[in-house]
Amino acid sequence: MFSVLCAHELATISDNKSCTLYKKGQILFHEGTRPLGIFCINSGKVKVYKIGTDGKEQIIRIAGQGDLLGYKAMLAEEYYPVSAETLEDCTICFLSKHNFLETLNESSDLNQRIVKQVCQEHGMLVDEVTNQAQKSVRERFAMALLKLKDTYGLDGHEDGPVEINLTREDLANLVGTATETLIRLLHEFKEDGMLETQGRKIRIIDSRQLVKAARMM
C-alpha cells in the first residue's frame, strides 16, 4: 500500500508508526469502538470477524502480511463494523489517524491506491454475499481453502503445498457452517486426495481439484 510514497513520505510514516508484538488471541479492536488509526500487519495472521444476532462469530476474512486494517471505518468516521483478533503471534504497526490523514493529503498516489483497494474489497464482499446465497457448503469450503492458500502461501511457498493453521471452529466460522459439518467435509476432501491433515494443520496438495470442487472452472 505504501510503496507509492516518496522517500520523504515513507520517512514520515516510519518516524510516527509504532510496532508491537501481539501474542496469539489478542484483540486489535472491537466492533462498535471508534478508530484511532490504522493497523498494518508486518507478520502473522489476524481474523476479522463480526458477531451475529445469535451470538455466533462469522469470520469475514483472514488478513496477513502487508494488509491494512481499520482504515475504511476511520476514513468514513464511523465505528468499527467488525473486530480483529490475532490468530498467532504477530508484529503489527500502528499509525495514528492524524499522521495517516496527513500523509494521505500529501500523496495523490496513496489516495488513488486507497480508492482502488476500497473498490476491490467491495467487489470481494459482493462476491462473498453471492457465494453464501448460491453455493453449497462444500463449494464454499473449497473456495475458503483456496483463499487461505493465498494468505498462508505469502512466504514464498505459493507453488508447493501450503499448510493452513486454523482451528476447526475458526474454519467453520469462515465458511459459515457448523463445526461438525466442517469436520465431515475435511474427511471427504482427504478421501478425494485434495488435502492432508496433521492435528489442526491442513496441508493443501491438489489445488486443481479444489478449484473444481468450488465450481470455479
If asked whether residues 142 and 126 sit together in one domain, one would say: no
If asked whether residues 36 and 20 sit together in one domain, one would say: yes
Q: Which domain covers residue 91, as residue numbers? A: 2-131
If asked whether residues 108 and 209 sit together in one domain, one would say: no
Helix or strand run (H / E) with residue 76: helix 71-76
Domain count, the chain: 2
If asked whether residues 92 and 198 sit together in one domain, one would say: no
Supply the pTM of this predicted model.
0.79
Cell of 147: 483463499
If asked whether residues 124 and 174 sit together in one domain, one would say: no
pLDDT tens figures, 188-205:
999 999 999 988 889 898
Strand order, beta sheet including 162-165: 162-165, 201-204, 195-198
pLDDT tens figures, 42-78:
999 999 999 988 888 999 999 998 888 999 999 999 9
Q: How many CB atoms lie within 10 A of CB 50?
A: 14
Residue 200 CA to residue 177 CA, distance in Å, equals 18
If asked whether residues 67 and 146 sit together in one domain, one would say: no
CATH number of the domain within which 11 lies: 2.60.120.10
